[in-house]
Amino acid sequence: MEYLTQSPPGIVDQRPRKRQRRVWDVLPENLTAQLGLFCAQEAGAVPELKSDKEFVRFSSPPLREDDKNGRYVFAVGDNLTSRLIDQLFDASFLVCVLGTFGQVLECWDRESKEMVAIKIIHGIKQHMDDTRIEIGILQQLGKYEPARSRCVQVRNWFEYRNHICIVFEKLGPSLFDFLRENNYRGFPIDLVREFARQLLDIVAFLHDLRLIHTDLKPENVLLVSPEYIKVPDYKLLRHLYLLLHSPKEGSYYMRLPKSSSIKVIDFGGTTVDSPQNTYVVSTRHYRAPEVILGLGWGYPCDIWSVGCIIVELCSGDVLFQTHEDLEHLAMMEKVLGPLPGHMLRRADRHAEKFVKRGRLNWPEGCMSVKSMEAVLKVPRLKNIVRENVDHSASDLVDLLHGLLRYDPSDRLSAREALRHPFFTRVTVGRS
């Protein structure tokens, strides 16, 4: 298998360049002469428009200023090109999904006759430069079958009114959205096992290519299909008090996806493994201890994130619900035990304030009573699993201890994790 040894030439040096500007913002004076350019096709391949009114129906919306964050301002029903028109999401989802670097719209593709998802990047130069690299990475990954089945697929891309727009296949909701619709109740353990297997499979593939995703979280793992069924939540039904005081009508039912197939999205932060990787990566709650302590990071930071995701899928709750570094490290110690002294002693100048006499400066360094209470409420990993898992609890706890080892050099690799009894014991039992 080919792998990447540096920020790859196929991604950076030959990354997509700016395409020729298309005249989508201004209606042409001569409709017949400009028809091919408007539709981005040869004139002979375009059906004849019967009137100026029909042409206007497929024209671009009025020019609007971007908002203060550089975000494209749209209205439902706008045309992004002559072939793409904004549509409403299903009633259970939003019209627009906002992200750090852009927003995602659901659109109708008139040419392929299907719904697609379009990521519109903020009109900020740095964001657009990073996006061109992301496009290159996704196009490279699309050459491999494992990536096509486990990573979101790019259909096309174009520039529109100083925004890069990436056309993706339309997928279902994220695992986070699904948990939220279930009132943050965890998935059944057999479903968690299938999600974990697929997630580790794609992480193993990325690592074989010497790529690190760096931002794995439930929001970036999408179900392929939005279809689901409703089943009684027997765990809730066992608690009559909770049933009678349900915060939401029908909450004694829970949703289960009809298909367990998932795909990973958001490769904007994906990078090549390097000893110089010392900057902060990953969303806070899924950030590995070596990243917080400034020790440098590599493939194992993805593995830590996967461990945090698996716990969240079981329990419905974020494992480390915090927004502050020292509190985050203290929660880790509460869940997993003391941090190794050799890691604390090597903390960089930004994190050395968290260490005192060779150990974590907690609770002495605690900034508030509220912070101390938050740490005290966090249960041990073993208790979290046993409270939420009916069977396979021992195997799952052992797997999680391997994925969440403090020292990245001791942490399981994705390939090693896939050979763990949590996955193999079930396979043997079914054969």
The predicted pLDDT at position 18 comes to 43
Q: Provide φ and ψ at 425, rounded to 5°.
A: -65, -40
The predicted pLDDT at position 35 comes to 30
The model's pLDDT over 20-49, given as tens digits with 9 standing for 90+, comes to 444 334 434 443 333 322 233 333 333 444
In contact, 288 and 300? CB cutoff 8 Å? yes
Is residue 266 located within the same domain as residue 149? Answer: no
How many Cβ atoms from other residues are within 10 Å of residue 379's Cβ? Answer: 13
Can you tell me the distance from the alpha carbon of 4 to that of 6, in angstroms, rounded to the nearest whole number? Answer: 6
Q: Which long-range contacts (CB under 8 A, 24 or more apart) does 102-108 make?
A: 102/71, 102/127, 102/131, 103/71, 103/72, 105/74, 105/80, 106/170, 107/80, 108/84
Task: Indicate the SS3 state at residue 130.
Answer: helix
Burial of 18 (C-beta count, 10 Å sphere; 0-12/13-18/19+): exposed
Does some domain include residue 260? yes
The predicted pLDDT at position 62 comes to 78
Q: Among the options 109, 177, 215, 233, which is catalytic?
A: 215
- Which contiguous run of DSSP H or E holds residue 425? helix 421-430
In contact, 219 and 419? CB cutoff 8 Å? no
Concerning whether 215 is annotated as a catalytic residue, the answer is yes
The predicted pLDDT at position 335 comes to 98
Is residue 347 located within the same domain as residue 207? Answer: yes
Confidence of residue 2 (pLDDT cuts 50, 70, 90): low
Confidence of residue 86 (pLDDT cuts 50, 70, 90): low
Is residue 236 located within the same domain as residue 159? Answer: no
Least confident piece of the model among 122-126, 257-261, 304-308, 326-330: 122-126
Does some domain include residue 9? no
The predicted pLDDT at position 251 comes to 64
Is residue 145 located within the same domain as residue 190? Answer: no
Does some domain include residue 213? yes
Is residue 269 located within the same domain as residue 403? Answer: yes
Does some domain include residue 3? no
In contact, 216 and 9? CB cutoff 8 Å? no
Helices (H) then strands (E): counts for the chain:
17, 15
Per the model's pLDDT, the better-predicted residue between 123 and 263 turns out to be 263
Alpha carbon distances (Å) from 187 to 12, 174, 202, 228, 403: 40, 13, 21, 13, 20
Work out how many domains the chain is built from and give that number: 2
Listed residue (65, 128, 76) closest to 107, CA to CA: 76
The arithmetic mean of pLDDT across residues 122-142, rounded, is 88
Q: Is the pLDDT of residue 214 over 70?
A: yes
Does some domain include residue 48? no
Count the alpha carbons within 13 Å of 387 in the hemisphere toward its beta carbon.
13
The arithmetic mean of pLDDT across residues 107-114, rounded, is 86
List the alpha helices (DSSP H) in 58-170.
125-141, 145-150
Mean pLDDT of the chain: 81
Is residue 308 located within the same domain as residue 230? Answer: yes
The predicted pLDDT at position 79 comes to 81
The predicted pLDDT at position 324 comes to 95
In contact, 370 and 363? CB cutoff 8 Å? no
The pTM of this model reads 0.81
The predicted pLDDT at position 367 comes to 87
The model's pLDDT over 37-81, given as tens digits with 9 standing for 90+, comes to 223 333 333 344 444 444 445 567 778 888 777 788 887 877 877
Is residue 147 located within the same domain as residue 214? Answer: no
Task: Indicate the SS3 state at residue 294.
Answer: coil
The predicted pLDDT at position 85 comes to 66
Place of tokens 């279809």: 227
In contact, 298 and 290? CB cutoff 8 Å? no
In contact, 167 and 160? CB cutoff 8 Å? no
Least confident piece of the model among 140-144, 188-192, 324-328, 372-376: 140-144
Can you tell me the distance from the alpha carbon of 186 to that of 140, in angstroms, rounded to the nearest whole number? Answer: 35
The model's pLDDT over 363-380, given as tens digits with 9 standing for 90+, comes to 999 989 999 999 999 999
Count the alpha carbons within 13 Å of 237 in the hemisphere toward its beta carbon.
8
Is residue 293 located within the same domain as residue 144? Answer: no
Alpha carbon distances (Å) from 114 to 90, 109, 129, 170, 252: 14, 5, 29, 9, 35
Residue type at 394 in one-letter notation: S
Q: Which of 138, 169, 200 is the last residue of a domain?
A: 169
Does some domain include residue 350? yes
Q: 134 lies in which domain range? A: 60-169
Question: CA-based angle 265:269:275, to the nearest 5?
Answer: 135
Sign of CA dihedral 378, 380, 383, 389: positive
State the CATH number of the domain containing residue 150: 1.10.510.10
Listed residue (306, 298, 308) closest to 414, CA to CA: 306
List the alpha helices (DSSP H) in 182-299.
189-208, 234-237, 240-244, 289-292
Q: Percent of the chain, pLDDT > 70?
A: 76
Is residue 187 located within the same domain as residue 98? Answer: no
Is residue 398 located within the same domain as residue 329? Answer: yes
Does some domain include residue 37? no
